[in-house]
A and B are shown apart, each in its own frame.
Chain A
Amino acid sequence: MHSPPQGQVARPAEVTAVVAFHEVSKWYGNVIGINKLSLEIRPGVTGLLGPNGAGKSTLLQLATGQLRPSQGTVRVLGEEPWNHAALNRRIGLCPEQDAFYEWMTGWDFVYTCARLSGMTRRDAHGSAQEAIAAVGMIGKERRAIRGYSRGMRQRIKLAQTLVHRPDVLFLDEPLTGTDPVARRDLMDIIQRLGREGKSVLVSSHVLHEVQSLTPNIVLINRGRLVAEGHVRQIRDLIDQHPHQIVVECRAYRQLAGRMLAWDDVEGVRVLESGRGVMVETRSPDAFYSRLPALSLEDGLAIEAVYSDDDNLEAVFKYLVNG
């Protein structure tokens, strides 16, 4: 098996892989998407971490059979996913792109996906109801998707992933662009799925998001496996660097004032766009944990929170170079 330079913690060998990549490469013409990657994902929630362009989406598309490996073999639940439509009854993908049949209502979208999965009308009806309830969209499901907020769109996208009750879930950046409340809710849902026995591979370019979901992390960069194992070791590396977090909020001056009072915040800079602030902190966990309360209690309408890639990139460089 591939041995990453650092950050790897061996997991029990007797636990069987749900997803297995063996010497997989994927080229787009002359561009390498995935480079000789060997990896095994075991049951439970696993975080797939890497900066933008690392190959996370390619890896997920290979695992869900949308792409054919140029080299090597991919197996999901023991079967090769490429051109294996029947396997799609047991796997679900929440794609990264914010694309929908905008004219549909949330209910219509999830129900249609259930019917496309081959469910009878009755099963589809019940299952769509369950999936919509699971993502907390009851009461909003009859509205047109085009009128949904980003958080609602992510939730309904997750509902279509769950509607045919798959065993293995692939979630591609499910928290991107969501406000702190939606983010916390989505994290709860993902963790609950793990507890319910689903195998979940969730990709992100923000370590702290993934860390809140699972201690099992796979790090990839430039199409290569950089490290896999327990988050603690990776955190140790990343915490040596100040962490930069962008918080978008119209009342950014008020927000900056509140944040500067927090001990772990080392600096706050107003973005040139005037749409928010860039915060520098060495305790991102504590920082993230305070955001929902700030948004709810202080009435500061935080529109988006995301971490800049630079720090993560630095850790990748460190890991790759040893």
Chain B
Amino acid sequence: MTTPAAATSESSHAASTTGAATARTGYAFSRFGALWTLFALTLRQHVRGKRWMIMGVLFLLPAGLAILIRSTTNEIYTVVPEFLLAWMFIPQVLLPLVALVYASGIIQDEQEEQTITYLLMRPTPKWAIYLVKLAATLVTTSVLVALFTAITYAAIFVGIDYSADNAAKTIDLAAATDRCLTTIGIHVLAVVAYSSLFGFLSIITRRTLVIGILYIALIEGITANMPFGIRLGTVIYYTRLIAYRAMDFVIQHRMGRVENLSAEAWQFDLKKDPHLLEHPDTATCLKTLLIASAAFAVLAAWQCARREFHVKTPEKE
């Protein structure tokens, strides 16, 4: 019997180093080219899929609601639909949902469609496959979020009466554009954090959608709205803090009464802590979200490198 060690030394095929392999393959190897192709392939898969159409329809809901509100009354302060749609509905429902829908499929889609073999049989390590596909997913979700957030803002602010008579109820278009860009920035940050989290979940469990929906409903939906320390473990808490400090959602009523929509809805106790000194500052919020996203991405990539990916074969079926 020829031992494996002997095989290594004797075989004309058996070049034992990667360098030797490079020499024998007969083509110039481009690591960047391979990764870029995988990135582009993932983007093409996203464009081809029906997900973006479904998410697009969902994302048009806030814009549709804004148009509905505008068509029924002129007496409303624009900050109200802005806050309710762009800062309650989108972050609470749509951002985690779009992240869940795309990130849960980073590897699982390839596995279910049995195309993962074509990726695993290439000279790209599994951790790199995951990270590149995650990067493409972040681009897709960020573009979707930016686009539809802009549409929502357009539906609220474009064509509104900016005359002096209405000045107390609205802001000018330049200010609205600034607020829109700030909102897009924070929403993109949130969707990156959610995508990294759900991407990690999809590597450690096949029930990502169920667990993800429970997470969105229970953790981000309920605990984030409670005035307790437990909300420090949610994405939405940090995005709200950043938004609270970067934008104001205040209504000056004619009788002089001031109403702070965000403080009330987001459970910030302004009587006890008017400057939110007990809460993390903006830089800490940004760092927390970015570090958490990076940590989940690294953990998922590490887990991906260790995992076997089984595909259904006709035998197994």
Contact = CB atoms under 8 A, between A and B. Distances in A.
Interface of B: 1-2, 4, 6-16, 18, 21-22, 24-31, 33-34, 37-38, 41, 45, 48, 113-115, 117-126, 305, 308-315
Contacts of A257: none
Interface in A69-88: 73, 75, 77-79, 83, 85-88
A118 B31 contact: yes
27 contacts: A17-B7, A17-B11, A18-B13, A20-B7, A40-B7, A52-B315, A56-B315, A75-B4, A75-B7, A78-B7, A78-B15, A78-B16, A79-B14, A85-B123, A88-B121, A95-B311, A99-B114, A99-B117, A100-B115, A101-B115, A103-B48, A115-B37, A116-B124, A118-B27, A118-B122, A123-B27, A168-B13
Interface in A82-112: 83, 85-93, 95-97, 99-101, 103, 112
Contacts of A90: 15, 21, 24-25
Interface stretch (A60-68, A133-141, A246-254): A60-68
B8 to A, nearest CB: 3
A292 to B, nearest CB: 25
A53 interface: yes
A79 B308 CA distance: 19
Contacts, number: 165
Given A18-B11, A77-B11, A86-B21, A127 B27 contact: yes
Nearest to A82: B308
B13 to A, nearest CB: 5
Nearest to A95: B117
A89 B118 contact: no
A115 B121 contact: no
A22 B124 CA distance: 27
B96 to A, nearest CB: 28
Given A18-B11, A83-B126, A167 B2 contact: no
B133 to A, nearest CB: 12
A121 interface: yes
Contacts of B25: 89-90, 164-165
B37 A112 contact: yes
B2 A68 contact: no
Nearest to B38: A116
A117 B313 contact: no
A75 B308 CA distance: 18
A1 interface: yes
Given A85-B123, A199-B13, 18 more contacts: A20-B7, A40-B7, A53-B315, A66-B308, A75-B7, A78-B14, A83-B126, A87-B21, A89-B22, A95-B117, A97-B312, A101-B41, A116-B34, A117-B34, A118-B29, A118-B31, A119-B30, A164-B25
A216 to B, nearest CB: 16
B4 A20 contact: yes
A178 interface: no
Contacts of B120: 65-66
A87 B10 CA distance: 18
A160 interface: yes
Contacts of B114: 95, 97, 99
Contacts of A75: 4, 7-8
B48 A164 contact: no
A118 B30 contact: yes
Contacts of A83: 125-126, 305
Contacts of A101: 41, 45, 115
Contact of B308 (A56, A68, A87, A119): A68
A212 interface: no
